[in-house]
């Protein structure tokens, strides 16, 4: 039997890589990383998000890659109220929240927003 231990990276297909890098670094505090032959990624903690330019994806790729098709949840130690305040400072609308949800490790308190491509981004605190 295969036993998976953790997520190493995921791939987001985006309409505009520089615009996505600006959003994820300036608003969400990720770090830009360059690798390979001009590839771009966003690093946070021990994980990263590799970015593919829509229409110029690297092979192999998802069967139907496209901007705005992801729904991602990130955990933060910053209290949700602080997340909301930071989003407001950047002019990013909170789509929903704070709301109680269930994460992989138990209860979480979440806020939802959209990235420049319309991907749904959930930022959460572990609750309890």
Residues serving a catalytic function are: 122
Instruction: Spell out the residues 6+ positions from residue 78 whose beta carbon is closer than 8 angstroms to its own.
Output: 86, 125
Cα gap 67→42, rounded to integer Å:
16
Compute the CA torsion angle 18, 24, 29, 32 (nearest 10 deg). Answer: -40
The C-alpha angle 10, 116, 127, rounded to 5 degrees, equals 60
């Amino acid at each position: 039997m295969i036993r998976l231990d953790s997520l190493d990276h995921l791939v987001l297909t985006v309409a505009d890589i520089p615009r996505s890098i600006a959003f994820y670094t300036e608003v969400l505090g990720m770090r830009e990383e360059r690798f390979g032959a001009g590839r771009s990624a966003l690093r946070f903690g021990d994980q990263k998000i590799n970015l593919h330019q829509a229409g110029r994806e690297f092979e192999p790729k998802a069967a139907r890659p496209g901007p705005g098709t992801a729904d991602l949840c990130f955990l933060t130690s910053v209290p949700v109220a602080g997340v909301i305040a930071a989003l407001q400072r950047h002019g990013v609308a909170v789509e929903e929240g704070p709301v109680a949800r269930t994460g992989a490790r138990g209860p979480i308190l979440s806020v939802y927003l959209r990235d420049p491509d319309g991907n749904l981004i959930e930022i959460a605190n572990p609750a309890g």
